Structure 1
């Protein structure tokens, strides 16, 4: 009804969700031009990440304009025969949102942030997130066992894990990690609260794509619990380390960063390859110049 009633000239879709794919198809049927923000990310393995890889490939086939966050993303699109004049390298809008939100949350913290800040005190903090479908089952069991070992090895550090609501995540996390004194399992957070928690953390262990991009702008090393990533720029820049769901690798890389101050400092000061916070401005200027 929105497409039929409003009949937009341009429809903007973002990223690689199933909503993104469905909206791009609906906009195509409506003969609106599709503008894909965060375009060109690829693993070229349709099963990993699932279903995001196919979502973004389908969207990429339909899109009229592709706002690629990096040169690598642009290269992926050119290999798929997308005309160069339809691609703009913008940086990623997630960095725009992050930099704006950091200032906002520091100026006006929520009641939850105030409580967390009080509960955490002076402890060094490790932030964990995990939700990906490909890690369900044995993968999450290995992840939780690794976190338990890290917690027992580093009792002076506090691990905070906002636990995804999916029962396939909740069950192993609560079974293996509940009751460990220096692991805090909390409900999922609002975006600005999560930004505060990232900024407060020493390092981050995650399977999230977005966090791979956000955390380096805050100077936070990231261990990525995935075997493949559509964001190879971060790996190449050294701002993230791929550890998959290998228990021993998660433990060893985490402890290495915590115990090796030189390596930690070097990783935390590396340049974020995903932009300068001006992606939205570049997108708007491009669209304004369309005939």
Structure 2
């Protein structure tokens, strides 16, 4: 099957009548099949931090593996290498693994150095679950003072409500403010683990000016904020493949709106000392 799949019909793998005078006692497994089977033994199938196979640096097949042989694999982490992010890609690094393949008699039959691209652990931002947001809101009062900026607690909550209305498609009557020549890099910045700069100006607000409040009090604003967030979540449940424009980052898909939500809420909740 492996020979047919790969077009590798080398005689040692397919023709037991041609083994006389060769180094093989019986029909032998392809070396790359041993390597592929080893990968199958050590790869965790579910989605996780491992992003991709990044390649091989060295590989040696030390002895043949024959029909009905049994193998097992041992991995040792050799090195972790930092890697600059590229485009719309979560921060990652390269992990080098020293791979040893043994037969049932514990004899070493193959070695390799395999490289995997692995997503970096995210420790900068608090995940904004519904429970965590409720916890943050309970700690926010009219008397809470910002660490920077001129917003009051209610102005901040109403600002977040408005951005959720953009994210749900309710508000889309605006032009993207970021110039075209900067938009790609700005968009890609959603994928990194860098915080928004303090005192960043929202393009739809006049600089150093507070908008008139829409709601009679902070508690009402919190309620409307949560309703707007539910509308955003419901929209992408019903339209998982949709894209909606954001005034700063351009067209965003469901995952990118999640990245923006996490950064944006962390920014403002940190602004008011809730994180």
TM-score, normalising length from structure 2?
0.26
Higher helix proportion: 1
| Bigger strand share | 2
Greater radius of gyration (CA): 2
